[in-house]
Amino acid sequence: MGKETKITNEIRRLRFEASEMTQAELARQVGVTRQTIIAVEQGRYSPSLEVAFKIARAFKVPLETVFQFPE
Amino acid sequence: MSYLEKINLSALVGMALVLAWYGSQVLSQLGNMPVEDIRYGKVMIIAIIGHVVFVVGAAILIGISDHKNLKEEAEQGDERDRKIELKADAVGGNVLSALIVPALVMLMMDVQPFWVANALFLSLAVTAMLSFVIKAIDYRRGF
């Protein structure tokens, strides 16, 4: 079991809603590797603010729609 | 598994093999003959070059078999890879600083070159091994 970050995300749902965007396509748009998208999606890696904004921009939604930091 | 993660694992395996081979060639002679008669220099150089050749060979083979990942990573770079590398290097650097001290003390005490050289070699090897292990864990577990 991986070490999960406290930050949760909705990337998987958003990819599904974005015409089932592949992880590879999202990675290409964001400018990271597919492995990094997988790690972020699974909560094993908290991306930098820059990458987080790029992910949100790829889905055309606000940052808080993609990432949450529960109390 | 990313291209760099595969390279890291092959470097880890290569280092383990090199250390095992070095131990069998040099350290196994301890007790059988005086340390000043043990010819360790050539074996040490072969071990260092052998590891470099092993990693380069592995990188080429992995690159050929996994050219899709290689192309992707070469084009995009990756912040996660860089962070993993930086963390492993930072820990390795601190450990190396600590491991060098005994070798320095040995030099000050005029200990035989065999022991000083091997203390330095093992410091470098252990540090590299530790960095590879930290990277392997971070790639799998996240950080």
Q: Taking residues B29-39, what's their average pLDDT?
A: 85
ipTM: 0.76
pLDDT of res. A35: 87
- pLDDT above 70: residue B75: no
Q: Taking residues B115-139, what's their average pLDDT?
A: 93
Q: Taking residues B21-41, what's their average pLDDT?
A: 87
Q: Point out the residue among A4, A42, A48 whose CB comes nearest to the CB of B79.
A: A48
- pLDDT averaged over every residue in chain B: 89
Please tell me the total number of residues recorded for chain A in this structure: 71
pLDDT of res. A3: 60
Q: Point out the residue among B72, B73, B141 whose CB comes nearest to the CB of A2.
A: B141
Alpha-carbon distance of B13 to A67, in angstroms, equals 37
pTM, two decimals, is: 0.81
Instruction: Write a three-state SS string for B26-49.
Output: CHHHECCECHHHCCCHHHHHHHHH
- pLDDT above 80: residue B74: no
Instruction: Tell me if A36 sits within 8 A of A11, measured CB to CB.
Output: no
Q: Taking residues B27-42, what's their average pLDDT?
A: 85
Distance from CA of A53 to the nearest CA of B (A): 14
Quote the distance between the C-alpha of residue B6 and its chain's center: 15
Instruction: Write a three-state SS string for chain A.
Output: CCCCCCCEECHHHHHHHCCCCCHHHHHHHHCCCHHHHHHHHCCCCCCCHHHHHHHHHHHCCCHHHHEECCC
- pLDDT above 80: residue B62: yes
pLDDT of res. B20: 93
Half-sphere exposure (Cβ direction) of A66: Cα atoms closer than 13 Å: 23
| Encoded tokens for A34 | 């597919």
Q: Cβ A45–B140 below 8 Å, yes or no?
A: no
Answer with the residue of higher pLDDT: A11 or B143: A11
Half-sphere exposure (Cβ direction) of B84: Cα atoms closer than 13 Å: 27
Alpha-carbon distance of B33 to A41, in angstroms, equals 58
A30-39, A42-51, B24-33, B55-64: least confident range = B24-33
Query: How many A-B residue pairs are in contact by the CB < 8 A criterion?
Result: 49
Alpha-carbon distance of B25 to B23, in angstroms, equals 5
Mutate to test the interface with B, among A32, A38, A51 (most CBs of B within 10 A): A32
- pLDDT above 90: residue B125: yes
pLDDT of res. A66: 95
For residues B126-135, b (16+ Cβ closer than 10 Å) or e, as one string?
bbbbbbbebb
Distance from CA of A2 to the nearest CA of B (A): 4
What is the tens place of the pLDDT at every residue in B88-106?
Answer: 999 999 999 999 999 999 9
What stretches in chain A show pLDDT beneath 50? 1
Classify residue B4 by its DSSP letter. H
pLDDT of res. A58: 95
Q: Taking residues B41-63, what's their average pLDDT?
A: 93
pLDDT of res. A69: 87
pLDDT of res. B44: 94
Q: Cβ A44–B69 below 8 Å, yes or no?
A: no
pLDDT of res. B100: 93
